[in-house]
A and B are shown apart, each in its own frame.
Chain A
Amino acid sequence: MAIPRILSPTSASDDAYDDMRGLAASLREVRYRYAGAQDWALDGVSLDIRNGEYVCIVGANGSGKSTLGRLIAGLSAPDSGAITLDGHMVFDEAGAHADQYRRARHDIGAVFQNPEDQIVTTVTGDDVAFGPENLGMSRTRISEQVAYALDAVDMTGHLADDPTTMSGGQQQRIAIAGIIAMNPRMVVLDEPTAMLDQDARMGVLTILDALHRQGTTIVHITHHADEAYRGQRIITMSAGRVVSDSTPTAEPADADTDAYDRPSQDDFRHLLQASGMPVTWLRAGSSDEYAPSDPSPASSGVSVTAAAPATNGVPGTADSPDAEEASTARGPALAIDVDHVSFTPQGAAFPSVEQLTFSVRSGETVALMGANGAGKTSIVKLLSALARPDSGNITVAGIPVATDRRYTASVETPHGTGSAGLRADRHTHIDSWIGRLPGSAVKPLSRKQRIELRHRLGLVMQHPEQQLFAHTVAEDVAYGPRNLGLSEQDVVQRVDEALELLHISELRDRSPFGLSGGQQRLVAIAGVIACHPDVLLLDEPTASLDETASARIRDMLVDLHRRGVTVLLVTHNIDEARAVADRVVVLEPPKHAGQHVDARRSRGTRNVETDGISMASGISSTQQAASEPSQAADGAADPHVGTGSGRSVIALLDARVKAVAFLVLMFSAFAISSPYQLAVGAVLTAGIVAAARIRPSLLLARIHMFLFLFVFAGALNIFFVRTGTPLAHIGPVPITDDGVHTAIIYACRFALVIILGAVYVETTTPTAMTDAFESLLSPLKRCGIHVQEIALVLSLALRFLPTLRVEIMAVAHAQAARGGSIESGSPAQRCRAMCAIIMPVFAASLRHADNLSLALDARSYEEGIRRTHWHDMRLHFRDGVFCAACVVYLVALVLAAVLL
Chain B
Amino acid sequence: MSIFSHTSIPARTIIKDGQSSGNATNTGTGDATVSPKDAHSTGVGDSGRWSTRRIAMYACFVALSMALSFVEFPLIPGVPWLKYDPSGIVALVAGFAYGPAAALIVSILGFVPHLFISPWGTLMAWLVAVGLSVPAALIYRRMHTRSGAVLGLVVGALVALVLAIVGNLIITPMYAHMTVSQVAALIVPALLPFNLAKYAINCVVTFLIYKPVSDLLNRSAR
Contact = CB atoms under 8 A, between A and B. Distances in A.
A101 B42 contact: yes
Interface string B19-34: 0000000111101011
The 8 closest A-B pairs by CB, nearest first: A98-B43, A796-B59, A797-B62, A757-B116, A850-B221, A800-B63, A853-B56, A852-B56
A355 to B, nearest CB: 35
A851 B49 CA distance: 19
Contacts of B90: 842
A794 B109 contact: yes
B45 A861 contact: yes
Given A800-B60, A804-B63, A857-B44, A838 B1 contact: no
Contact of B55 (A105, A619, A742, A792): A792
Nearest to B1: A783
Given A838-B86, A863-B48, A471 B212 contact: yes
Contact of A808 (B5, B59, B68, B93): B68
Interface of B: 1, 4-5, 26-29, 31, 33-35, 39-46, 48-53, 55-64, 66-68, 70-71, 73, 81, 86, 89-90, 93, 105, 109-110, 112-113, 115-120, 174-178, 182, 201, 204-205, 208-209, 211-213, 215-217, 219-222
A790 interface: yes
- Among A79, A90, A511, A746, which residue has the most Cβ atoms of chain B within 10 A? A79
A534 B134 CA distance: 49
A712 B81 contact: yes
A854 interface: yes
B56 A850 contact: yes
Contacts of B33: 31, 79-80
A77 B41 contact: yes
Contacts of B45: 856-857, 860-863
6 contacts: A720-B177, A786-B49, A789-B50, A801-B63, A831-B204, A863-B52
B8 to A, nearest CB: 11
Contacts of B60: 796-797, 800, 804, 845-846, 848-849, 852
A754 interface: yes
A740 to B, nearest CB: 11
Contacts of B26: 36
Contact of A663 (B4, B49, B115): B115
A853 B39 contact: no
B44 A98 contact: yes
B88 to A, nearest CB: 11
Contact of A35 (B29, B71, B109, B116): B29
B216 A513 contact: yes
Contact of B70 (A511, A805, A830): A805
A76 B55 contact: no
A205 interface: no
Contact of B211 (A471, A666, A808): A471
A58 interface: no
Interface of A: 31-33, 35-37, 70, 74-80, 90, 95-98, 101-102, 105, 469, 471, 511, 513-514, 613, 616-619, 662-663, 666-667, 670, 706, 712-713, 716-717, 720-721, 742-743, 746, 750, 753-754, 756-758, 760-761, 783-786, 789-790, 792-801, 803-805, 808, 822-823, 830-831, 834-835, 838-839, 841-843, 845-846, 848-854, 856-857, 860-864
Contact of A838 (B50, B120, B209, B219): B209
A716 B176 contact: yes
Given A800-B60, A862-B45, A618 B53 contact: no
A40 to B, nearest CB: 10
A103 B189 CA distance: 64
A351 B209 CA distance: 40
Nearest to A708: B80
Given A105-B44, A513-B215, A856 B119 contact: no
A823 B73 contact: yes
B63 A753 contact: no
B177 A717 contact: yes
Nearest to B53: A853
A102 B44 contact: yes
Contacts of A805: 67, 70
A757 B176 CA distance: 20
Given A90-B42, A670-B174, A838-B209, A796 B116 contact: no
B81 A619 contact: no
A742 B175 CA distance: 11
Nearest to B64: A845
Given A77-B42, A713-B176, A804 B67 contact: yes
A31 B33 CA distance: 10
Contact of B212 (A75, A80, A511, A845): A511
B119 A721 contact: no
Contacts of A783: 1, 4
Contacts of A838: 68, 86, 89, 205, 209
A207 B129 CA distance: 48
B213 A839 contact: yes
B61 A845 contact: yes
A469 B211 CA distance: 12
Contacts of B39: 35, 79
A456 to B, nearest CB: 27
A783 B4 CA distance: 9
Contacts of B27: 35-36
Contact of B4 (A784, A841, A861): A784
Contacts of B174: 670
B40 A76 contact: yes
A831 B207 CA distance: 11
Contact of B43 (A96, A514, A619, A717): A96
Contacts of B49: 786, 863
Contacts of A96: 35, 41-43
Nearest to A120: B59
Contacts of B63: 796-801, 803-804, 845
Contacts of B112: 794
Given A793-B58, A835-B208, A852-B60, A863 B51 contact: yes
A666 B119 CA distance: 7
Contacts of B62: 793-794, 796-797
A839 B70 contact: no
B51 A808 contact: no
B86 A35 contact: no
Contact of A842 (B43, B44, B50, B209): B209
Given A97-B43, A834-B86, A849 B1 contact: no
A33 B31 contact: yes
Contacts of B182: 720
B155 to A, nearest CB: 21
A790 B34 contact: no
B55 A853 contact: yes
A663 B112 CA distance: 12
B93 to A, nearest CB: 7
Contacts of B205: 831, 834-835, 838
Contacts of B212: 469, 471, 511, 513, 839
Given A471-B211, A618-B113, A857 B46 contact: yes
Given A77-B40, A784-B5, A842-B216, 18 more contacts: A35-B220, A36-B27, A74-B44, A77-B43, A96-B35, A513-B212, A662-B116, A667-B120, A757-B117, A793-B59, A794-B109, A796-B60, A831-B201, A838-B68, A846-B57, A848-B60, A850-B53, A853-B55
Contact of A796 (B53, B56, B67, B118): B56
Given A835-B209, A841-B64, A853 B51 contact: yes
Nearest to B222: A76
A514 B219 CA distance: 9
A482 to B, nearest CB: 15
B216 A843 contact: yes
B209 A789 contact: no
Contacts of B42: 74-77, 90, 96, 98, 101, 105
Given A35-B27, A789-B55, A834 B43 contact: no
A318 B80 CA distance: 53
